[in-house]
Amino acid sequence: PNETLVVAVTGAAGQISYSLLPLLANGTVFGPQQRIQLRLLEIPPALTALSGVTMELIDGAYPLLESIIETSDPMVAFRNADVAILVGAFPRKQGMERKDLLSKNVSIFKTQGEALSQVASRDVRVVVVGNPANTNAMVLSRFAVNIPPRNISALTRLDHNRACAQVAHKLGVSVGSVDGVCIWGNHSSTQYPDVIRATADGVPVLAKLGGAETVAEHFIPVIQKRGAAVIKARGLSSAMSAANAIADHMRSWICGDDKIVSMAVAADGSYGIPEGIYYSFPVRCLGRGEYEIVQGIEIDEFSKRYMDATKDELLSERDDAVSLLA
């Protein structure tokens, strides 16, 4: 059997974690042989609620779950962590400006980056879920000086899954037959869900979706605004589907994936996206926590406009974050 994997989860008493923790404990994410230890981080006011979550995890009687630690100290939560899933973030409250929200989160991800850098495993793989996810990952990376930027990512798999599901729905095919979809850029309403090269059972879907103009009008905005649509209907933001996407993201990254998936990763100049931001790309997951950005995709004018808009948003978020750090 493999050595036990130490998995840290922040925001562990929140609604996404409530759907995520069972998937970690039951072997869905790391495989049916992989034993895990959970390190659950919360802020002090949520520790009582967290103790209830822990009781439920214990009552789940998961054979793969060796131990659970609850803490409000990042240095405890991240000690020897092999995987860190950063769900906790400061939520947007009524009347709050974008910059106020960013300011709260910059300080959370600075602290957590420093702690991860000091006590996590050198090979730790980190996914940031808490919003603004891409920029939080960028801040984290700046302060996690011992962690290679490529071991840090932000979640755009939910957007990717939404795009695959909408293609399948519109064409009346199974979602498993859909391939070649990807999300470029920010996990925000400027993201670019790209179906130009998407296929269903190997057949290109663009024409069946009505061509680029129709996609621009009726497909792209549905994906961009899907999170808001869920909030409007449910009164709460996506949690079940977010947890499922985190599970997919981690499983692809750690165990590998035959399909191309979307991850926000450290930009390296590919497709003209400058270093220093976390941008979602189509990636190939090679297993053991290795990935490569898919190269050689020809970018037409249609795609370039979208890719630039979401890049510009990320650059402006970066500038705001850097000025808050100064």
The residues annotated with a catalytic role in the active site are 187
Half-sphere exposure in the Cβ direction for 266 (13 Å, CA): 16
Cβ closer to ligand NAI: 43 or 309?
A: 43
Yes or no: say if 83 and 250 are a contact pair by the CB < 8 Å rule. yes
142 labeled binding residue: no
**CA dihedral sign, ordered 294, 299, 302, 306:** positive
What is the C-alpha separation between 71 and 61, in angstroms, rounded?
21
What is the C-alpha separation between 35 and 67, in angstroms, rounded?
10
- Rounded to a whole number of angstroms, the minimum distance from the CB of residue 320 to ligand NAI is 17
Cβ closer to ligand NAI: 177 or 189?
A: 189
Cβ closer to ligand NAI: 91 or 210?
A: 91
92 labeled binding residue: yes
105 labeled binding residue: yes
- Rounded to a whole number of angstroms, the minimum distance from the CB of residue 87 to ligand NAI is 5
Chain residues binding ligand NAI by CB under 6 A are 10-11, 13-16, 41-43, 46, 87-91, 108, 129-131, 133, 155, 158, 187, 237-239, 242
- Rounded to a whole number of angstroms, the minimum distance from the CB of residue 61 to ligand NAI is 25
Q: Which residues contact 140 (CB under 8 A, 6 or more apart)?
A: 86, 109, 110, 112, 113, 116, 126, 128, 152
Cβ closer to ligand NAI: 87 or 266?
A: 87
35 labeled binding residue: no
- Rounded to a whole number of angstroms, the minimum distance from the CB of residue 14 to ligand NAI is 2
What is the C-alpha separation between 326 and 317, in angstroms, rounded?
14
Half-sphere exposure in the Cβ direction for 77 (13 Å, CA): 25
131 labeled binding residue: yes
Residue number closest to ligand NAI, CB atom:
14
251 labeled binding residue: no
Cβ closer to ligand NAI: 209 or 223?
A: 223
DSSP code of residue 291:
E
Q: Which residues contact 29 (CB under 8 A, 6 or more apart)?
A: 23, 247, 250, 251, 254
What are the DSSP E strand ranges found in 23-151? 36-41, 65-71, 83-86, 125-128
- Rounded to a whole number of angstroms, the minimum distance from the CB of residue 193 to ligand NAI is 13
Bind-site residues for NAD(+): 105, 129-131
Bind-site residues for substrate: 92, 98, 131, 162
Bind-site residues: 92, 98, 105, 129-131, 162
